[in-house]
């Protein structure tokens, strides 16, 4: 596929008039980036409404619906907001000791071949450049993980992803299909900082205090950039009877990054030779097992 064809396709997958992301000098591109940076600096969340065009949405949804039966659901798990283990020396109501339900289903990137619109949009260099500019990063790279770099989160009726902080700095998602009821993205902006865990406030949210909780009203085709290190967030239970579908694209600040064998296996039920080789190199490099 030539670059020209790639450009033609990708421009039709997004609302190119509103988001001329491949035209670096376009004033509208600059305006969107500025707005995005302001929102991220404010509360760590930016939404670009209608980023995917109606045509793009239809194509992406068709591809995802076809592959949905291939989704891998890891065993439903209970985790605390830090994804850490229990510490019995702490009081029972400490946030580290509160474990909540998390259900995960993913269609992994290896199910999307090079001809799929989802993959071609993900690998389109102007998209990576645009995301980097929105985040204020000098350079970003495609995440090199062959299983998890571009995945679809499938949230079935009854599924939820409870309160947590992310371990990664930013998350880039595109909602393809919302739940007919429930399945809301909610967050509490800047609840902790690098200096202060703010346990009391985290505890209040876990006990049901929603005074500082923001609920996002996301629509199909919206692009969301989210900084989840400091803002507690969740996706509420899907109480409808259809699946909620979310496309997740990952980018890295260094080239050649892939996930750890253990984590990829746990979340996606498979690893590739690349994961096994990387793990061997890692163990050999420092002589330790973890
Ligand atoms: Fe998260």
* Contact predicate 150/116, CB 8 Å: no
pTM of the model: 0.92
Could you tell me the distance, in angstroms and rounded to a whole number, from the CA of residue 230 to the centre of ligand 1? 11
* Amino acid 262: pLDDT: 86
Alpha carbons 142 and 253: distance in angstroms, whole number: 9
* Amino acid 284: pLDDT: 55
Could you tell me the distance, in angstroms and rounded to a whole number, from the CA of residue 47 to the centre of ligand 1? 16
Angle between helices 125-135 and 27-43 in degrees, nearest 10: 50
Could you tell me the distance, in angstroms and rounded to a whole number, from the CA of residue 151 to the centre of ligand 1? 14
Q: Which domains does the chain have, with CATH numbers?
A: 44-111+140-257 (2.60.120.620)
pLDDT above 50 (res 17): yes
Residue 284: HSE in the Cβ half-sphere, 13 Å Cα cutoff: 6
Could you tell me the distance, in angstroms and rounded to a whole number, from the CA of residue 100 to the centre of ligand 1? 14
Could you tell me the distance, in angstroms and rounded to a whole number, from the CA of residue 165 to the centre of ligand 1? 6
Could you tell me the distance, in angstroms and rounded to a whole number, from the CA of residue 105 to the centre of ligand 1? 14
Going by pLDDT thresholds of 50, 70 and 90, the confidence category of residue 289 is very low
The 10s digit of each residue's pLDDT in 176-194 is: 999 999 999 999 999 999 8
Percent of the chain surpassing pLDDT 70: 97
Could you tell me the distance, in angstroms and rounded to a whole number, from the CA of residue 156 to the centre of ligand 1? 18
Alpha carbons 254 and 257: distance in angstroms, whole number: 7
* Closest of 154, 135, 151, 153 to residue 143, by C-alpha: 151
* Amino acid 62: pLDDT: 98
- Provide the token pair at 151: 């995945």
Could you tell me the distance, in angstroms and rounded to a whole number, from the CA of residue 275 to the centre of ligand 1? 23
- Provide the token pair at 107: 């269609």
* Amino acid 290: pLDDT: 46
């Amino acid at each position: 596929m030539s670059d020209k064809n790639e450009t033609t396709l990708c421009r039709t997958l997004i609302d190119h008039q509103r988001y001329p992301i491949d035209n670096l000098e376009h004033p509208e591109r600059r305006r969107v980036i500025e707005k995005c940076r302001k929102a991220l600096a404010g509360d760590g969340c930016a939404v670009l409404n209608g980023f995917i065009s109606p045509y793009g949405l239809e194509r992406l949804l068709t591809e995802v619906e076809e592959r949905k039966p291939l989704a891998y659901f890891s065993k439903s798990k209970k985790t605390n907001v830090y994804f850490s283990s229990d510490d019995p020396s702490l009081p029972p109501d400490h946030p580290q000791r509160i474990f909540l339900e998390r259900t995960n289903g993913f269609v992994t990137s290896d199910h999307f071949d090079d001809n799929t619109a989802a993959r071609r949009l993900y690998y389109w260099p102007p998209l990576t450049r645009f995301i980097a500019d929105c985040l204020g990063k000098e350079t970003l790279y495609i995440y090199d993980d062959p299983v998890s770099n571009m995945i679809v989160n499938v949230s079935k009726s009854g599924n939820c992803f409870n309160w947590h902080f992310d371990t990664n700095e930013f998350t880039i998602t595109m909602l393809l299909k919302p739940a007919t009821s429930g399945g809301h993205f909610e967050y509490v902006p800047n609840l902790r900082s690098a200096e202060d865990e703010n346990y009391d406030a985290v505890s209040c949210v876990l006990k049901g205090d929603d005074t500082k909780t923001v609920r996002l009203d996301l629509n199909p085709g919206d692009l969301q950039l989210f900084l989840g290190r400091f803002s507690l967030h969740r996706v509420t239970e899907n109480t409808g009877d259809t699946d909620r579908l979310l496309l997740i694209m990952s980018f890295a600040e260094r080239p050649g990054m892939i996930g750890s064998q253990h984590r990829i296996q746990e979340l996606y039920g498979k690893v590739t030779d690349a994961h096994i080789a990387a793990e061997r190199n890692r163990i050999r490099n420092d002589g330790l097992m973890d």
